[in-house]
A and B are shown apart, each in its own frame.
Chain A
Amino acid sequence: MPTKMRLFQVVGRKAPTPNDESPQIYRMKLFAPNEVNAKSRFWYFMHQMRKMKKTTGEILDVNEITEKNTNYVKNYGIWIKYNSRSGTHNMYREYRDVSLNAAIDTLYNDMAGRHRSRFQSIQIIRTATVKSSDCKRVTTTQFHDSKLKYPLPHRVVRPTTKQLRSKYLATRPSTHFN
């Protein structure tokens, strides 16, 4: 399923000058919706951390990094720095998902929902797939049970297609399906 955020590797450096023939090359992995935004974010970060910007530098390469295997569930640990209304904080968040991009999507939506922080106030410092034994959050570790099983209580009945929706039903719907 296509995600909003994609992982890009952007490689860039300060433009070579007569004083500095081959400047230091920097590589950044960052999340952005597309290549154009990726390049823009690259300059945003590089400008903060090194003395270079879009006008004085050049981007050598932009590559998308895709998930190696989306066929199994991983625990993603994400370290972020975000601005709240009264300060800036570090955070560590965990998400269970099938691909890193999907986890990052969830992260941004989650941060927006829980902390009202938007894309521009969040910086992703580090991401990693975390081993089940190293996970810290209960919401992820509760799924690390080999014999996990749970019922689906209170199922809301939904017609199979939109066309089958009706304003009135003959009988009151049941929400218990064992």
Chain B
Amino acid sequence: LVFLGISLIWYNMGFTRFVEVGRVALINYGPDAGKLCTIIDMIDNNRVLVDGPREKTGIHRQVMTTKRLSLTDFVAKIPRNAKEKKIVAAWEEQGILAAWESTSWAKKLATKKRRAALSDFDRFKVMIAKKQKSEIVTKKLSEISA
């Protein structure tokens, strides 16, 4: 099985994420930046037809340049040009949203968002918490090294 995996990577020249029907991608530029979308068809070299599904991510069916997409590891099992209902069903069956939220990528994005929305009091609390954490760490470190 390991051999199969390695040969697949070799066959795909080291690529594991592809622009294909069903690929879930993160929009990384533009007004919809930070939202997920599903590729439902490829128009040409630079553009794909994309749908949220709107119910799950708020992205309507539209043309999107691949330049604006960051591909994720998830592929929804949908036919080409699938209607929104089918995409929603596939997303729910495969639990894509939950799987995405549990990836470290999504978690990092969430913490970034949270940090950007902190108030001054929140930042004060963070500073105090950091100090407390470093106090514990240095104390433990000195115990180990002593």
Contact = CB atoms under 8 A, between A and B. Distances in A.
A146 B42 CA distance: 10
Interface in A81-116: 95-98
B134 interface: no
Contacts of B33: 160-161
Interface stretch (B13-21, B90-98, B122-130): B13-21
B49 A150 contact: no
Given A72-B81, A96-B43, A139-B44, A1 B63 contact: yes
Interface string A139-178: 1000100111111110000101100000000000000011
B77 interface: no
A84 B31 CA distance: 41
Contact of A177 (B49, B70, B80): B70
A96 B71 CA distance: 23
Contact of B19 (A73, A147, A149, A160): A149
A151 B28 contact: no
A97 B43 contact: yes
Given A72-B81, A151-B15, A152-B66, A143 B44 contact: yes
Contacts of A160: 28-29, 33-34
Contact of B43 (A71, A73, A146, A153): A73
Contacts, number: 63
Given A72-B41, A160-B28, A161-B33, A178 B15 contact: yes
A154 to B, nearest CB: 11
A150 B66 CA distance: 11
Contacts of A1: 63
Contacts of A152: 17, 19, 66, 69, 71
Contacts of B13: 151
Given A73-B49, A160-B28, A143 B17 contact: no
A178 B17 CA distance: 6
B52 to A, nearest CB: 13
Contact of A149 (B14, B18, B29, B44): B18
Nearest to B62: A1
A158 B69 CA distance: 11
Interface string B1-40: 0000000000011111111110000001100011000000
B18 A73 contact: no
Contacts of B16: 178
- 6 tightest A-B contacts by CB? A149-B20, A151-B15, A149-B18, A178-B17, A178-B16, A160-B33
11 contacts: A1-B63, A71-B81, A72-B49, A73-B41, A73-B42, A73-B43, A98-B49, A151-B15, A152-B69, A158-B67, A160-B28
